[in-house]
């Protein structure tokens, strides 16, 4: 209970006694069922933890991709070197390529122009033109043609001769074109360097190997991702079981706390010294009835017990036993065995026995039942050893009873205040525990929400995974 909070005014004994009958104590939580439920949850957690460890072992036993990664880096370095050589060779070839392109464009133009001229002529070779000229001249020489036809043929022959001069230039142009084409072909052969071909071949080979390595690593990464997903799923299941266990514990502790609070409240509601007062009253009445000492007391909840009456079965106070305290099935000793010598000393002559019977037994004049002595011890009163001590004992019992009655209300209030303080302290402790559990729950949720990021290299992945694994085990140990 906080120090700043005011302590409520204790109720009177009558109010407490009246409230006691209205207090309903809830049923006590079943500890066996609670332990069984906790054991089941712990068994499930142990099984999940074993599965978790198996997955972690599989992850740790995943084939090491470090050699493949190293080989991949080497191949990439080789590709970079080959690209550098290719760039250097292409730079040197650039001028030749530009020159070759210009020459090829000029050559193609010449070919197109020559073809256009040839398409306009009827005859494209000198031989064809000569044969046509000879044919036309023979027609003129035959003298059979008309003047008009002869003039036309002579005009055609003149045109063929002019065409012949043009066709004769075709051969020179064609020769020049072929010569230029040869130069271009030679330049192309120079550009087709064997070193460049070899570099290109190496580049293609290395690139194919890199693609194979990347494909294999992608498959391995996919398998590892499946293991990581399975591990994350198991971790979530473990956290769920831990939360379930905490819920069971909280519910049990809450029910247990409520039960004991009611019990404490019920116990605190009992007036102080009630049992002691009843014992004192019973003992005073006993000595008054059996020894004629003192004044009879009125016992409210524990009536006087005499030799012929039965004790109140509803009282929880041990009653004075005025009987012989002989257990069932046993026989009380007769008078002839009252002396220890008679019982343990063996057989004696009748003369000796008669002599012993004549001896006065001083102790046999005053006897108390064990139950009376037991109750005297409970109230811390000296047991009387002779009838003369009874009056002193009764006076002492009366004084104790008066003390108990006088201080009953005060002590009862103190007990109630103390019980209320303890209950308030327990409630405050329970609230603090709830706050701590909420904080712990937030930490677990945050840890559970962490996502494992994988790097391209397995060593970094394993290190990162180990770090996450240590955090999960630390939480599990903290929850346990």
pLDDT, one tens digit per residue, over 251-281 is 999 988 888 877 777 776 677 788 888 899 8
Whether residues 414 and 291 fall in one domain: yes
Q: Is 384 part of any domain?
A: yes
**Assigned token pair, 274:** 């009630």
Distance CA 398, CA 340 (A): 37
Whether residues 278 and 415 fall in one domain: yes
pLDDT value of position 119: 73
Q: Is 187 part of any domain?
A: yes
Name the pLDDT band for 463 (thresholds 50, 70, 90): very low
Name the pLDDT band for 169 (thresholds 50, 70, 90): confident
Whether residues 292 and 185 fall in one domain: no
Mean pLDDT throughout 198-202? 84
Q: Is 392 part of any domain?
A: yes
Q: Which residues contact 333 (CB under 8 A, 6 or more apart)?
A: 343
* H-run or E-run covering 145: none
Residue 361's alpha-carbon distances to 345, 356, 364, 366, in angstroms, are 18, 10, 6, 10
Higher pLDDT among residues 350 and 367, named by residue: 367
Distance CA 401, CA 407 (A): 10
Mean pLDDT throughout 357-370? 60
Higher pLDDT among residues 477 and 52, named by residue: 52
Please give the DSSP secondary-structure letter assigned to residue 61.
Answer: T
Whether residues 169 and 80 fall in one domain: yes
**Structural domain of 178:** 66-207
Domain end marker among 207, 236, 252 = 207
Residue 304 has pLDDT above 50, yes or no: no
pLDDT (tens digit per residue) in 98-136? 888 888 888 888 888 878 877 776 666 777 777 777 877
pLDDT value of position 38: 94
Whether residues 291 and 436 fall in one domain: yes
- Crossing angle between the packed helical segments 31-60 and 194-269, to the nearest 10 degrees: 170
Distance CA 244, CA 37 (A): 10
Q: Is 54 part of any domain?
A: no
pLDDT value of position 53: 94
Residue 230 has pLDDT above 90, yes or no: yes
Average pLDDT, the chain: 71
Residue 346 has pLDDT above 80, yes or no: no
Do residues 55 and 227 lie in contact, with contact meaning Cβ atoms separated by under 8 Å? Answer: yes
Residue 380 has pLDDT above 60, yes or no: yes
Position of tokens 């370095």? 77
Whether residues 203 and 279 fall in one domain: no
Name the pLDDT band for 432 (thresholds 50, 70, 90): low
Residue 46 has pLDDT above 90, yes or no: yes
- Rounded CA Rg of the chain: 63
Residue 101's alpha-carbon distances to 94, 108, 154, in angstroms, are 10, 11, 48
Higher pLDDT among residues 302 and 86, named by residue: 86
Whether residues 82 and 186 fall in one domain: yes
Separation of CA 294 from chain center: 75
Q: Is 125 part of any domain?
A: yes
- Crossing angle between the packed helical segments 370-378 and 274-291, to the nearest 10 degrees: 140
pLDDT value of position 65: 66
Whether residues 303 and 414 fall in one domain: yes
Q: Which residues contact 277 (CB under 8 A, 6 or more apart)?
A: 401, 404, 405, 408
Whether residues 156 and 303 fall in one domain: no
- Our CA dihedral for 166, 168, 173, 174, rounded to 10 degrees, sits at 120
pLDDT value of position 448: 44
Distance CA 277, CA 401 (A): 5
Whether residues 200 and 305 fall in one domain: no
Do residues 393 and 287 lie in contact, with contact meaning Cβ atoms separated by under 8 Å? Answer: yes
pLDDT value of position 34: 92
HEC per residue, 181-199: HHHHHHHHHHHCCHHHHHH
Residue 155 has pLDDT above 60, yes or no: yes
Q: Which of 221, 277, 252, 214 is nearest to 405 (CA)?
A: 277
pLDDT value of position 28: 84
Whether residues 182 and 285 fall in one domain: no
Domain count, the chain: 2
Q: Is 420 part of any domain?
A: yes
Query: Coil, helix or strand for 153?
Result: helix
Whether residues 175 and 295 fall in one domain: no
């Amino acid at each position: 209970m906080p120090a700043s909070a005011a302590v409520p005014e204790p109720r009177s004994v009558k109010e407490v006694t009246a409230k006691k009958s209205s207090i309903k104590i809830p049923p006590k939580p079943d500890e066996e069922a609670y332990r069984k439920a906790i054991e089941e949850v712990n068994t499930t957690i142990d099984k999940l933890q074993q599965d978790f460890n198996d997955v972690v072992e599989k992850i740790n036993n995943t084939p090491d991709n470090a050699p493949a990664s190293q080989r991949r880096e080497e191949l990439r370095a080789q590709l970079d070197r080959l690209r550098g050589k290719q760039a250097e060779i292409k730079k040197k070839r650039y001028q030749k390529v530009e020159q070759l392109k210009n020459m090829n464009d000029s050559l193609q133009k010449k070919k197109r122009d020559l073809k256009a001229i040839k398409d306009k002529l009827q005859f494209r070779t000198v031989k064809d033109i000569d044969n046509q000229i000879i044919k036309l001249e023979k027609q003129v020489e035959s003298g059979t043609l008309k003047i008009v036809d002869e003039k036309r043929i002579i005009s055609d022959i003149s045109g063929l001769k002019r065409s012949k001069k043009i066709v004769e230039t075709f051969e020179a142009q064609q020769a020049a074109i072929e010569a230029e084409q040869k130069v271009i072909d030679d330049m192309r052969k120079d550009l087709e360097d064997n070193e460049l071909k070899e570099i290109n071949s190496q580049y293609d080979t290395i690139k194919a190997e890199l693609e194979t390595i990347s494909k294999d690593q992608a498959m391995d990464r996919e398998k590892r991702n499946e293991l990581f997903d399975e591990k994350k799923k198991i971790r979530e299941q473990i956290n769920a079981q831990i939360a379930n266990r905490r819920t069971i514990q909280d519910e049990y502790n809450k029910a247990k706390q409520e039960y004991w609070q009611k019990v404490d409240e019920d116990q605190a509601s009992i007036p102080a010294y009630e049992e002691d007062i009843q014992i004192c009253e019973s003992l005073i009445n006993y000595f008054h009835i059996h020894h004629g000492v003192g004044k009879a007391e009125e016992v409210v909840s524990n009536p006087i017990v005499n030799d012929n009456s039965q004790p109140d079965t509803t009282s929880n106070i041990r009653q004075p036993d005025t009987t012989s305290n002989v257990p069932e099935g046993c026989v009380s000793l007769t008078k002839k065995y009252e002396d220890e010598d008679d019982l343990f000393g063996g057989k004696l002559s009748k003369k000796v026995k008669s002599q012993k019977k004549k001896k006065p037994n001083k102790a046999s004049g005053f006897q108390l039942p064990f139950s009376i002595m037991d109750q005297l011890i409970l109230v811390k009163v000296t047991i009387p050893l002779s009838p003369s001590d009874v009056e002193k004992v009764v006076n002492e019992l009366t004084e104790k009873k008066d003390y108990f009655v006088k201080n009953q209300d005060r002590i009862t209030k103190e007990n109630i205040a103390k019980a209320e303080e303890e209950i308030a302290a327990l409630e405050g402790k329970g609230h603090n525990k709830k706050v701590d559990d909420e904080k712990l729950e937030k930490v677990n949720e945050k840890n559970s929400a962490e996502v494992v990021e994988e790097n391209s290299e397995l060593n970094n992945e394993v290190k990162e995974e180990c770090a996450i694994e240590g955090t999960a085990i630390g939480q599990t140990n903290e929850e346990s």
